[in-house]
Amino acid sequence: MGRAKEIQIRVIPAKIANPFIRAHHYSGKVVSNSQLHFGAFLDGRLHGVLSYGPSLDKKKIIGLVEGTTWDGFLELNRMAFDDYLPRNSESYCIAKTIRLIRKQAPQVKWIISFADGCSCGDGTIYRACNFVLTDIKQNSNLCLLPNGDKVHKLTLQGHPTAPRLELGGRTFYDVTGGKYDFNAYVKAAGGTILPGYQLRYIYFIDPTYRKRLTVPEIPFSRIDELGAGMYKGECISQAERHARSHFE
């Protein structure tokens, strides 16, 4: 683990966490639902942020684990690090934050997180941290704009009457006739839908809740079978990554 063990994890306010996430997360965006922010400090400076909060679609997610209370799970919805931290820092920080949640919020029984296989990765870090893979689905909800920005369908649906720069000040509803029509938005914005997959992972803080999972656990080998592998924005299988590691 090396110097990763020297990292200090502290709860930090959103006014510190959010600027760091905007600067270092591949999306450049924060999640409005984030409520609990952990900072990763090394040598007296902030070098990473992990943000947790309720899922945007909480009513749908809660049913994944039978008997979960309304406050019984959290989503790890943003994780961002700079290049200063040593190897294995991400897994170390996830483990430390989960231990703190277990201690300070015993009502939280499990953590959910999603890997963006369209533009980032397929969840290597989650697999290393003993998360369970519970879904792999083709993602047709991410739009690449002409200027290189990316917009998710849920962002538009959450703020359908907000003026948008890529629409010349018009709103999502203006270009869709007041409907949740993502394809109409993509056409109006001159964008393209990014191909790829979204992978859903769950970590069971309380291991007894794993038996309550209402969907099948998916073997990690299924990622390569579906061609859903991605690492640092490159479409690549787990097998290819493993082969490369022997030559590095």
Q: What is the pLDDT of residues 33-61, one digit of tens each?
A: 899 999 999 999 999 999 999 998 899 99
With respect to residue 189, please indicate whether it lies within any of the assigned structural domains: no
| pLDDT higher than 90, residue 242 | no
168/206 Cα distance (integer angstroms):
49
**Count of other CB atoms within 10 angstroms of residue 25:** 18
Instruction: Indicate the average pLDDT of the chain.
Output: 90
* Residue 125: burial class (beta carbons within 10 Å; 0-12, 13-18, 19+): middle
**Is the residue at 104 inside a domain?**
yes
CATH of residue 47's domain is 3.40.630.30
Given a cut of 90, whether residue 233 has pLDDT beyond it is no
Whether 171 is covered by a domain: the verdict is: no
Element (H, E) at 204: strand 197-204
178 located within any domain? no
For 19, the enclosing helix (H) or strand (E) is helix 14-24
Structural domain containing residue 112: 2-137+198-219
Ranges 9-13, 51-55, 87-91: which has the least confidence: 87-91
Instruction: Report if residue 99 sits inside a domain.
Output: yes
Q: Is the pLDDT of residue 243 over 70?
A: no
pTM equals 0.81
Which tens digits make up the pLDDT trace of 162-209? 999 999 999 999 999 999 999 999 999 999 888 788 899 999 999 999
How does DSSP assign 47-82, residue by residue?
Answer: EEEEEEE--TTHHHHGGGBTT--TTSEEEEEEEEE-
In a domain, 12, yes or no: yes
Least confident of 23-32, 75-84, 98-107, 231-240: 231-240
**pLDDT score of 248 more than 50:** no
Specify the amino acid at residue 222: R
Task: Report the percentage of the chain scoring pLDDT > 90.
Answer: 67
At 126-176, the pLDDT tens digits run 999 999 999 998 878 788 899 988 888 878 888 899 999 999 999 999 999
192-193 and 132-138 beta bridge pairing: unpaired
Is residue 166 a part of any domain in this protein? Answer: no
pLDDT score recorded for residue 110: 98
Number of domains comprising the chain: 1
Beta strands per DSSP E along 15-169: 36-42, 45-53, 73-81, 110-116, 132-138, 142-144, 150-152
- For residue 150, being part of any structural domain is answered with no
Q: What angle do CA 35, 22, 45 make, to 5 degrees?
A: 80
